[in-house]
Structure 1
Amino acid sequence: ESSKFPKGGLRIVLIGGRKLTGKPSHKSATGNIILGQNVFDTSKRTAKSVVRQQEVHGRHVTVVEWHYPVENTPKLDQIEIKNSVYLCPPGPHVFLLVIPVYVRLPQIFRASLEEHLKLLTAMFWKHTIVLFTRGDWLGVKTVEERIASEGGLEWLVNKCGNRYHVLNNMDRSDEMQVKEFLEKIEEMWAGNEDPQYELDNATKTEAGKEAVEQRV
């Protein structure tokens, strides 16, 4: 195990989907690629977040896939995102904002994204990497060229401190791309002054009450 890797393994929360970007994010498939097993159901969406764990390249990796509530509103989404934080205590090391590299993010989707995520505090963005899927779509174009050509993507990458990665989720046989990605997360974690994302006490109390109200 790498000396730079978090003790006890890496905790990841996947965020993304059609209702934030207007396009499918391939989020479940991405979770399966990272863990190297078909542990997330890609055939349907459920209303609650799901946690899965695997040993990946000698590391213990926990992935939480955040799901949209059946009744989709920013408030309910915020509750479910906060619940996803509780599924990997004491908190995730990284959030992966999963977006197809070909997607456009017009202003309406940027506003929607910020509305859904605003209760996670500014600290959220310090722990977030934009994970572009469908890297095969780029062809000979670089991801930097793609980001520069689409204002919404440039805005999002800047929001995340210029942290991004491209995954070719159409090629399940390329294990090295996952290893390289884990190493990039490792590097981000090692350089972060806060080792993991945690909800503050007030938000924890609020989230706990909301979770009970919504799930009973």
Structure 2
Amino acid sequence: MASVSSAPEMGEVGQAASHEAQRLPELRIMLLGKRWTGKCVAGNIILGRETFQTKITTGECVKKQGEVAGRQVTVVNTPDWREHDSVQETPEQVKQEIVCSVTLCPPGPHALLLVIPVGSVSERERRSVQEHLELLSERVWRHTIVLFTWGERLGDTTIEQHIERGGEELQWLVEKCGNRYHVLNNRNRGDGTQVTELLDKIEEMMAENRGDVFLTEKREGETEGEMKIVGEMPMIYEPVEEIEEINIPVRRRRNSITAPPFMSGGAAAEGSPGETAAQPEASSSEEKTVERPGAP
């Protein structure tokens, strides 16, 4: 009996050591959600200080950093959308900011937190959440955790009971995120365990994704580890062409920058991936006249 009971203890020690070995020194997190969900409060709880302004609504992403539980943590808060708005009703600037937010934590965020306050979710809200998250791609769900705020409203109800009673719309969102969720008690901000448990869940999700961070663009034949963020593709040179008469190679250069469909019709935000790089001035060598052989 002694040998049987000692085996699980050794296993538990090994699992704990393995978890410590897998702990990431840095975590990059994005917060997404509609208006009045408590995203700023959630960011402050995660970082352990009042760094996001909770009474100001901005149409731009805000990035804050700090050390949490021995990790360097980056939190990017994205602009929120109105509660029932479809993605077509959301201003272009907000959509651009959501898409470009990924570039604020290169090479990509470890986790996206879909912030939802404890309460009911209507079908219009569910559809609005889906449309706005999928601005980043349909693969966004495998890197997303539902973060319930205002957990104190649950009272004696467990979060599992709340999800079960929350209706098909809430259950759909949780299932879409791989049944990954966490609760923050906004009033008990001094409880550090709710933050460390969230960071542990992010690392568990990372292990499920084989260490892949979220990136916004995947090209055919690439794995996620080889993907590039939109707007960070290098200058690409076209194949060398030859002028038949004088047989001098000429090289032309162009920018290869991919932008989301909704960004193609308007000007990109300042400093965004849609911004076109300045073209270099022509060198004097390109202006020289080349004489043909045998010319007088």
- Quick check: 2:60–2:94 contact (8 Å CA) kept in 1? no
- Three-state SS of the structure 2 residue aligned to 1:120 is coil
Report matched runs for 1:85-100 at 5 Å.
Answer: 85-100=102-117
Structure 1 counterpart of 2:201, from 184, 208, 213: 184
- State the partner residue of 2:125: 109
Q: Select which of 24, 35, 39 maps to 1:6.
A: 24
1:63 pairs with 2:75: yes
Name the structure 2 match of 1:45. Answer: 57
Deviation of 1:201 after TM superposition, in Å, equals 6.0
4+ runs deviating over 2 angstroms: 74-78, 207-212
Q: Percent identity?
A: 46
Which residue of structure 1 aligns with residue 269 of structure 2?
215
Is contact 1:26-1:98 (8 Å) kept?
Answer: yes
Helix, strand or coil at the partner of 2:135: helix
Q: SS of the counterpart of 1:213?
A: coil
Partner AA of 2:21 in structure 1: S
Higher relative contact order (CA 8 A, sep 6+): 1
- 5 Å-filtered alignment, 1:14-25, equals 14-18=31-35, 24-25=36-37
Q: How far has the Cα of 1:77 moved from its partner?
A: 3.5
Is it true that 1:174 corresponds to 2:174 in the alignment? no
- Structural mapping, 1:19-38, within 5 Å: 24-38=36-50
Is the 1:94–1:127 contact (alpha carbons within 8 Å) kept by the matching residues of 2?
yes
SS across alignment from 2:22 = coil
AA partner of residue 47 (structure 2): L
Under a length normalisation based on structure 1, what TM-score does the superposition of the two structures give? 0.87
Letter in 2 for 1:206: A
> Structure 1 pair 154/118, CA: closer, same or farther in 2 (3 Å)?
same
Q: Distance between the aligned counterparts of 1:78 and 1:47, measured in 2?
A: 10
Instruction: List alignment gaps of at least 5 residues for structure 1.
Output: 19-23
Give the secondary-structure state (helix, strand or coil) at the position aligned to 2:116.
Answer: strand
Distance 1:2 1:185 in 2: 14
**Backbone CA RMSD of aligned residues:** 2.6
How far 1:68 sits from its partner (Å)? 3.8
- How far apart are the structure 2 equivalents of 1:194 and 1:175? 25
Q: What letter corresponds to residue 128 of structure 2 in structure 1? A: S
Equivalence for 1:128: 144
Q: C-alpha separation between the residues in 2 aligned to 1:46 and 1:139?
A: 32
* 1:182–1:149 Cα change, 3 Å: same
Q: In the superposition, relative to structure 1, how do residues 78 and 6 fare at CA in structure 2: closer, same or farther (>3 Å)?
A: farther
Determine the structure 2 residue equivalent to 1:21: none
Runs of 5+ in structure 2 lacking a partner?
Answer: 1-18, 83-88, 220-228, 231-257, 271-296
Distance 1:31 1:135, change over 3 A: same
In structure 1, the residue matched to 2:292 is none
CA contact (8 A) 1:68 1:80 kept: no
Among candidates 254, 259, 262, match of residue 206 of structure 1:
259
Give the letter aligned to residue 191 of structure 2.
Answer: D
Amino acid in structure 2 at the alignment position of 1:115:
E
Distance 1:129 1:170, change over 3 A: same
Contact 2:126 2:170 in 1 (8 A): no
TM-score (norm 2): 0.65
Count how many residue pairs are aligned between Structure 1 and Structure 2. Answer: 209
Larger radius of gyration: 2
